């Protein structure tokens, strides 16, 4: 049984100020009807004894615990740098300064 007809689509299009052709009204009525039927079918299955889920498989965190550790010494961090100045990485200037 169709729940969305062309008249309802035309009324909604008018409220939204969308100009639709007759062919578009017919096509959208059919497409919206399929959507409404699909939602109704899911609603039949989604009963109170079926738990709501956001994902079909259980998710687990794969990251390690965030544990504070001693920081890397500056000399070790700069050891592989092509250039360093005053305990910092030295990089070429890319923006002109006034």
Residue-range domains of the chain with CATH: 6-45 (1.10.20)
- In the DSSP assignment, the letter for residue 72 is P
pLDDT exceeds 70 at position 98: no
pLDDT of 41? 87
Average pLDDT of the residues in 55-72 = 87
Determine the average pLDDT of the residues in 76-97: 90
pTM for the model: 0.46
Q: Which residue has the higher pLDDT, 3 or 67?
A: 67
**pLDDT of amino acid 64:** 86
Rounded-to-integer distance, Cα 85 and Cα 83, Å: 7
pLDDT at 38 over 70: yes
CB 32 within 8 A of CB 9: yes
Q: Who's near 52: CB < 8 A, 6+ residues apart? A: 46
Q: Report which of residues 97 and 35 the model is more confident about.
A: 35
Look at residue 1 and tell me whether its pLDDT is greater than 80: no
CA 20 – CA 62 distance, rounded (Å): 50
């Amino acid at each position: 049984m169709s729940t969305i007809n062309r008249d309802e689509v035309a009324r909604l299009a008018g409220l939204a100020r969308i100009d639709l052709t007759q062919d578009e009204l017919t096509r959208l009525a059919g497409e919206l009807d399929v959507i409404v039927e699909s939602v109704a079918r899911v609603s039949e299955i989604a009963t109170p004894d079926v738990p709501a889920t956001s994902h079909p498989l259980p998710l687990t965190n794969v990251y390690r615990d965030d544990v504070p550790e001693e920081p890397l010494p500056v000399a070790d961090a700069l050891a592989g740098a092509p250039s360093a100045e005053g305990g910092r990485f030295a990089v070429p200037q890319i923006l002109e300064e006034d």
